[in-house]
Structure 1
């Protein structure tokens, strides 16, 4: 049974250490029974002690075999020292150590054994009077070492020089120590006047040492005390001193009885006082501790000041009973009533300390949150004394938390190793454009909450941005701006300034929020305004946005047409030079040279475009055009406002505009100046022109919608938002919102992905119509030429010259004469190459293909218009009105 009891006790300790569950918890017995059952019913065998002994012996022999005799001797010495302490668990411990061993013969070092020896304590130097005299300057004050002899036979001039005392050893002799220890209170009393007072004092304390007799029922009789003694003990207990009637935990002793009061009344009275002391105990304990964090140190100092003020009140009450100047009524109930208003603020402070001690691993600023909540609750309940005390302590402690905030907002620096502040710096230096986004981060808890007091969360972003603005200004070498910023006078954040008397009815949260916002504004406004002004004046933010609009959004129609036409010509000529980044860059710089600095623009093609053939690249807007990348070199501060995500959004709009312009380019450069003679050919031409007109109308509607209803209004709104932005973060947000809006309103978002694909189908349909028509024109031209040739051969007249044949209008589908195409070597582009690309459709007649394409266009158009209308009605997005307007514009081209 002793083994079972020992096992149960050890299981209790194991459960407590692992789960940290209190003894009165309902689930503790479940864990305890599970551990007991597991230990009793386990099927593991005990360690073989003989095997362990053999392995130890073999390990010693191995040390000697490999030449580690010194290690073997040390090993044997410790095994011999273990023999007297051997018990039933020794084999298990040694087996565990042997299993953990990793090549001991090679990796063991004898020098490691020295670390197990406890260092010898160095004797402390003896303090002598000589050293004290030297440090305090007594050595140079000669008068100190002279003692006047006031004996009756001595004169005033006779003095004894005792400088030799300073040279003597400072260790007091044993006889003097004994004399000092044997001295009693009677030796210190004034004689003969003090003996009576000393005896009175001893008589007043005799109640502590009186022998308590047994009563009739066998219990000890209670000692009767006076009301003044009870008040004295209570005041000492409330002051944190040791007393006879109360123990260290402020529990009253029931061995005393107040004269003239029933036991029940006395017990209720001392219990009330004991409850007051118990509530103050956490404050007393916390005030005596040693805190390492500066935040907790200032809170501890505030608690000490509050207790010191309360102790002064207790001393004032004690003074009324010690130095009596007028008649005083000794009433414990009166004392309790007098102290309650002064104890209530301390109770609230003790509750905060208790909550702080009960939480596991609280943050250093956790008590600030508790104080903030307690101040608001005290104000709400109308407890003015508690409100003033807690409010003063909160704002005094908050001054310490303001120090890293002030350093961050004024100098852009962080205290090394500070884990209480909510800003952290990346350990690696990032490129300048990424300073604002990635160099500094807000610390978060594992739950995802900000590592900052709750009441600061509304101002966290402004604090964070102000410090980042200073960092960016330093990288701009704008030291004058930062020094001017540091000279700003900040508002006060004490209780008198924050909670002044004229706003006593305003909630504390609003008072603190307004004061703290004013404090932040004094440090945030100048840095943000300076940085915003520098972005516009010195680093060309407006010019950078103009460049992005002209290049990506194609706001300059002439430059954009020159750029896109050059690319389209290379595509139509089946030339691979458009894939060369040097050629593309040259085309872009030449096209935009009139409005943009050429060195700021570059262009390239994604390597995936190299896998497509020239014919495939020309036949669809989906293959090669999305792989053309255009870039603008912006100043690094501008890149903070326009990050990589924004450039990708610009590139998406640029690709969509390029695809639309591709279809318009092909439709506008269609086959002209050809008049077929047959009626069937003329009917087919009418169908072709109808389809071409509809496609041109569709492309122009999309372009008009994008330029006039999306891009132009949104760019104007962006300029206004950027100028109204308070700081760089607001500017970044304004630009990101701008890119989001133009992507959604341009039908390029995720919600409108099917509609976008249908629009691209219509653009591909334009290319397909032109290819089919070009093939048909080549065929009709060849037939006309063959008929003319046969008629000329059967005619007695000579064949017409080349010049006359050109006048007859026999031109290629691209507008050149047939002979000119032969001379240039590109005549197959309009004939055989196109015919080869449309070989799959050559089985159907031309007019059938045109009618099918016209039907496809009508179907696509209905899908786009209907889809836009449906999404606009079902969505609450801001772009829904734009989608509805575009649907209305497209519905005008749908046949009823």
Structure 2
């Protein structure tokens, strides 16, 4: 009972502490629930005992791990302590050991064993072994095999060591060497030279010619400060200088190497020696500048390759100097500074050329990243022109190494459509990603050529656009989920083919074109197929022809009738009504998706009611047809605006003809007036002008240009060519249809003729309903003829007259200032003037290299005047 009471008290304290329950809530339902759960969890037998066999297995594995990691002292210490624990066995021992194992933190790395200090045995001194004690025969330590790399894979298992490396993450311990001399250390005498080698020491000291005591008396005729040396010493100093080592005769002063003229040769004049040393110093200055250039950090990838190529050539030059030095050190060799100069000039020719090229680079690599590649290209072309095949051949290898590195970003762009963000010299720059797919081709990427095209090598300028197109094609295909299968890498395609008898410039162009064409042809061809077969390019073009150019006049006439009726009634535009009219009219056309058709007014306010009948008011409505995003990249928004302008112009012509024909139908129901010849002539001329103008634009201009468009787009090699063909098509239509900015006066004159036709029709209508007698066309007062029509509703022929009366307030004709006959003559004069102006303007523009269609239009209009 006492145990139960204590357990209950402890449980209450635990709940109060953890759940933070106030003393006033100890009897609440929540407290009782928590107590019941805690008591159940603490009930005897709720948790099982630790598996002692699993603990023993973990300890054995830990010992084995210590041994594998060369921590035998830890393994022995752990084994001894486990044996000691076995003597003091406890029932809770497995739980204690399991807890210690779970709390352990990298025992193989941070654990250490304190070795006993007392009763420790002194380490036995190992017998020293020298190389002379090892026999060359029958051992594995002879001179031929001792420096070979040992293969450890034959006697070990990678799986065992990989598991050990994954379990233990600690740094590999290396023996640390100390340069301090231990206390009590006595330097052995055998490391000093014996006394009998005093001659060797003297010869070494005498060889140090830079010391004043090693110079003999100055010969007569030479400066008192001169120091005579041997040709062997001078050759050695020269070789050291060329290898970039400090010397006494040659001194490094900033960016040049100077000669100490105090040193002379006994068998040479000072002038001859100075000239010879000056030649060596000039070569050394160039080579030293090249060495300094290779030590400058480079951020441009191909410049890193260029520096590596220079380092290889410097290393080869140093090897040649070492071979010359070895030859001089061989017994019986003859040392000649003149021969040394000839050898140095022969083997340093490429380094001297590269040094001069590096001098032209300056510090403008950031502003002109392609200058080094251009200079190397020009240098090789110059050497090839001079006939230096050896130097040009070696530099060609260096050039193609750099060129291979440079084209990595180009290959990545053409093969995957990705821009290497780490390459700041690449000429393609990403503007936006994951934006509007309809502008992918035009707005997502741009050619960043830099200031004065410094990001593009001069020898690749002709192929840059094709590279740009190939990469954009891959981006296009990726968004279409139509990427081609991974092609073979062109990593080695930039290696020049020496068997081709081509000059270097042609060889570079052919190699680069081979890389570009291999990727461009694949991506461009696949994208063309996707656009033709799956994206609906041709069906979209046909739909635009129907919507904007009125290919099916049955649908276009239905739209015109409704739109022109709204204009005659003077009502404002209603975008819902206009859209419904257009969708209903084009519903039978199979190539048009009517759900993508939208007619919207640009301005719902019509302004003056008398201006609603003008053809200019048609410019306030816009017909939009939604294209799939792949097609929208080819037929851009600017092209759609051009389509809309031409569609509006054609509708304006149809509006003028609609007014003339409607008025003519009304006149046909009245008795003809044979005396009104002028009205009949003007009516005929206007209809003839409108029919010919509309036929010229539709059948001659638009139809012929559309056939040429289909032909050019079918033969286009890539998307850029398709876009260019369509842009040329739209530009040609705007010019031939008189919609370009340069033809604004001619276009305004034609719009004036169209409004004049509408005005003439309104003039005839006003004359018909009797407003000439009223002096005004304001329809507030009913004429007798109008009243008669209102009373006789059963007469079907009078419905048209009643419609004219309801539209009377929108007519553009008025007889307040001029009579009907005067206005007819004035309309005839204005019509003749405008047609003459259009004819003369077109003839003048045709003589100034205008399109042939202008000449045809001008001849037909002039023929009417004859």
SS of residue in 2 equivalent to 1:420: coil
Aligned to 2:238: 234
Contact 2:524 2:717 in 1 (8 A): yes
Deviation at 1:271, TM superposition (A): 0.7
Contact 1:409 1:466 in 2 (8 A): yes
Contact 1:873 1:880 in 2 (8 A): no
Aligned to 2:648: 655
2:740 equivalent to 1:765? no
Aligned to 2:92: none
Deviation at 1:714, TM superposition (A): 1.4
What is the alpha-carbon distance in structure 2 between the residues aligned to residue 177 and residue 894 of structure 1?
A: 130
Contact 1:488 1:522 in 2 (8 A): no
Structure 2 matches for 1:150-189, cutoff 5 A?
171-174=178-181, 187=191
Contact 2:237 2:249 in 1 (8 A): yes
Deviation at 1:427, TM superposition (A): 5.0
- Pairing partner for 1:775 from 766, 784, 788: 766
Contact 1:490 1:523 in 2 (8 A): no
What is the alpha-carbon distance in structure 1 between the residues aligned to residue 259 and residue 184 of structure 2?
A: 39
What is the alpha-carbon distance in structure 2 between the residues aligned to residue 222 and residue 206 of structure 1?
A: 12
Residues 397 and 223 (structure 1 numbering): CA distance in 2 closer, same or farther, change over 3 Å? same
Deviation at 1:846, TM superposition (A): 2.2
- Pairing partner for 2:581 from 568, 583, 587: 587
Aligned to 2:634: 641
Contact 2:663 2:761 in 1 (8 A): yes
2:260 equivalent to 1:267? no
Residues 890 and 195 (structure 1 numbering): CA distance in 2 closer, same or farther, change over 3 Å? farther
What is the alpha-carbon distance in structure 2 between the residues aligned to residue 691 and residue 716 of structure 1?
A: 36
SS of residue in 2 equivalent to 1:174: coil
Deviation at 1:199, TM superposition (A): 5.0
Deviation at 1:491, TM superposition (A): 7.0
2:315 equivalent to 1:315? no
SS of residue in 2 equivalent to 1:351: helix
- Pairing partner for 2:513 from 497, 513, 517: 517
Contact 2:215 2:228 in 1 (8 A): no
What is the alpha-carbon distance in structure 1 between the residues aligned to residue 430 and residue 194 of structure 2?
A: 70
- Pairing partner for 1:467 from 455, 465, 471: 471
Aligned to 1:720: 711
Deviation at 1:742, TM superposition (A): 0.8
Aligned to 1:553: 549
Structure 2 matches for 1:206-285, cutoff 5 A?
206=209, 208-209=211-212, 210-211=214-215, 220-248=224-252, 249-285=256-292
What is the alpha-carbon distance in structure 1 between the residues aligned to residue 789 and residue 770 of structure 2?
A: 20
Contact 2:210 2:248 in 1 (8 A): no
Aligned to 1:540: 536
Contact 2:426 2:455 in 1 (8 A): yes
Aligned to 2:594: 599
Aligned to 1:492: 492
2:643 equivalent to 1:667? no
Deviation at 1:443, TM superposition (A): 2.2
Deviation at 1:170, TM superposition (A): 5.1
What is the alpha-carbon distance in structure 2 between the residues aligned to residue 177 and residue 657 of structure 1?
A: 113
Deviation at 1:645, TM superposition (A): 0.8
Residues 721 and 760 (structure 1 numbering): CA distance in 2 closer, same or farther, change over 3 Å? same
What is the alpha-carbon distance in structure 1 between the residues aligned to residue 184 and residue 327 of structure 2?
A: 40
SS of residue in 1 equivalent to 2:612: helix
2:132 equivalent to 1:148? no
Which sits farther off after the overlay, 561-570 or 513-522? 561-570
- Pairing partner for 1:529 from 512, 525, 529: 525
Contact 1:588 1:601 in 2 (8 A): no
SS of residue in 2 equivalent to 1:503: coil
Give deviations 1:188-215, integer Å, cap 9, x for gaps. 77997x7766654544444654357689
Aligned to 1:502: 500
SS of residue in 2 equivalent to 1:240: coil
Which structure 1 residue ranges, 5 or more long, are not aligned?
A: 1-132, 157-165, 784-800
What is the alpha-carbon distance in structure 2 between the residues aligned to residue 231 and residue 763 of structure 1?
A: 100
SS of residue in 1 equivalent to 2:429: strand
Deviation at 1:827, TM superposition (A): 4.6
What is the alpha-carbon distance in structure 2 between the residues aligned to residue 274 and residue 613 of structure 1?
A: 93
Residues 636 and 494 (structure 1 numbering): CA distance in 2 closer, same or farther, change over 3 Å? closer
Deviation at 1:689, TM superposition (A): 1.8
Contact 1:408 1:467 in 2 (8 A): yes
Give deviations 1:559-610, integer Å, cap 9, x for gaps. 222222221233224344xx11111111111222222434344333434242
2:594 equivalent to 1:617? no
Contact 1:676 1:780 in 2 (8 A): no
Residues 233 and 145 (structure 1 numbering): CA distance in 2 closer, same or farther, change over 3 Å? farther
Aligned to 1:828: 805
Aligned to 1:885: 856
Deviation at 1:489, TM superposition (A): 4.3
Residues 145 and 827 (structure 1 numbering): CA distance in 2 closer, same or farther, change over 3 Å? farther
What is the alpha-carbon distance in structure 2 between the residues aligned to residue 145 and residue 854 of structure 1?
A: 133
Contact 1:571 1:614 in 2 (8 A): no
What is the alpha-carbon distance in structure 1 between the residues aligned to residue 373 and residue 434 of structure 2?
A: 34
Contact 2:400 2:496 in 1 (8 A): no
Residues 621 and 335 (structure 1 numbering): CA distance in 2 closer, same or farther, change over 3 Å? same
What is the alpha-carbon distance in structure 2 between the residues aligned to residue 150 and residue 376 of structure 1?
A: 63
Contact 2:218 2:227 in 1 (8 A): no
What is the alpha-carbon distance in structure 1 between the residues aligned to residue 456 and residue 574 of structure 2?
A: 53
2:330 equivalent to 1:330? no
Contact 2:432 2:445 in 1 (8 A): no
SS of residue in 1 equivalent to 2:232: helix
- Pairing partner for 1:371 from 372, 376, 392: 376
Contact 1:422 1:450 in 2 (8 A): no
SS of residue in 2 equivalent to 1:757: helix
Residues 558 and 564 (structure 1 numbering): CA distance in 2 closer, same or farther, change over 3 Å? same
Contact 1:405 1:463 in 2 (8 A): yes
Contact 1:600 1:634 in 2 (8 A): no
Give deviations 1:61-82, integer Å, cap 9, x for gaps. xxxxxxxxxxxxxxxxxxxxxx
Contact 1:426 1:438 in 2 (8 A): yes
Residues 384 and 187 (structure 1 numbering): CA distance in 2 closer, same or farther, change over 3 Å? farther
Structure 2 matches for 1:687-836, cutoff 5 A?
687-779=678-770, 817-818=797-798, 820=799, 826-829=803-806, 832-833=808-809
Structure 2 matches for 1:569-584, cutoff 5 A?
569-576=565-572, 579-584=573-578
What is the alpha-carbon distance in structure 2 between the residues aligned to residue 188 and residue 394 of structure 1?
A: 55
What is the alpha-carbon distance in structure 1 between the residues aligned to residue 210 and residue 230 of structure 2?
A: 10
Aligned to 1:112: none
Residues 886 and 674 (structure 1 numbering): CA distance in 2 closer, same or farther, change over 3 Å? closer
Deviation at 1:621, TM superposition (A): 0.9
SS of residue in 2 equivalent to 1:603: strand
Residues 392 and 869 (structure 1 numbering): CA distance in 2 closer, same or farther, change over 3 Å? same
Contact 1:442 1:450 in 2 (8 A): no
What is the alpha-carbon distance in structure 2 between the residues aligned to residue 237 and residue 368 of structure 1?
A: 30
Q: Structure 1 length normalisation: TM-score?
A: 0.71
Deviation at 1:462, TM superposition (A): 1.8
Contact 2:686 2:757 in 1 (8 A): yes
Give deviations 1:455-475, integer Å, cap 9, x for gaps. 332222222222221112121
Q: Structure 2 length normalisation: TM-score?
A: 0.73
2:419 equivalent to 1:414? yes
Contact 2:653 2:694 in 1 (8 A): yes
2:386 equivalent to 1:381? yes
Deviation at 1:350, TM superposition (A): 1.0
Deviation at 1:242, TM superposition (A): 1.7
Aligned to 2:103: none
Residues 715 and 759 (structure 1 numbering): CA distance in 2 closer, same or farther, change over 3 Å? same
Deviation at 1:247, TM superposition (A): 0.7
After superposition, the CA RMSD in angstroms is 3.8
Which structure 2 residue ranges, 5 or more long, are not aligned?
A: 1-66, 75-122, 136-172, 775-787
Residues 360 and 391 (structure 1 numbering): CA distance in 2 closer, same or farther, change over 3 Å? closer
Contact 1:532 1:728 in 2 (8 A): yes
